[in-house]
Amino acid sequence: MNASPLGLSALVGEAADLRTPWLGMFGDLDKGIPVDDVEVLRSAVGDAEVAAEIVRYADADHGFHCDVRSSYNQAAAKDAWTRTLAWFDAYLTTPG
């Protein structure tokens, strides 16, 4: 696994110990996080005792959700936002 600026290799080592549901979204065109590394992470989070999901966007680069960047990808951003809100609905609760 390559070292990534986001500490992806460190997360792989801790993935089985996740205690909170975790959602990761990655653009396949991101040069800083190779697809092979994302797939290693996908395998690692599969051992977690909590829900964990990896989503890859084939045509998206790093920062694909930021609409002021040249890497903005509207389709990926829309899907990622929909997935994020659904994830929040499924796994975040409010007291009371």
Report the alpha-carbon distance of residue 45 to residue 26 in Å, rounded: 15
Quick: pLDDT tens for 39-72.
999 999 998 999 999 999 999 999 999 999 999 9
Residue 77 has pLDDT above 60, yes or no: yes
What integer pLDDT is reported at residue 93 of this predicted model? 81
**Which pLDDT value is given to residue 12?**
82
pLDDT score recorded for residue 65? 96
More confident call, 89 vs 13: 89
Element (H, E) at 11: helix 8-14
Q: What is the pLDDT of residues 5-35, one digit of tens each?
A: 455 666 788 888 889 999 999 999 999 889 9
CB atoms within 10 A of CB 2: 11
**What is the distance between the alpha carbons of residues 15 and 35, in angstroms, rounded to a whole number?**
17
Whether 59 and 43 have beta carbons less than 8 Å apart is answered as: no
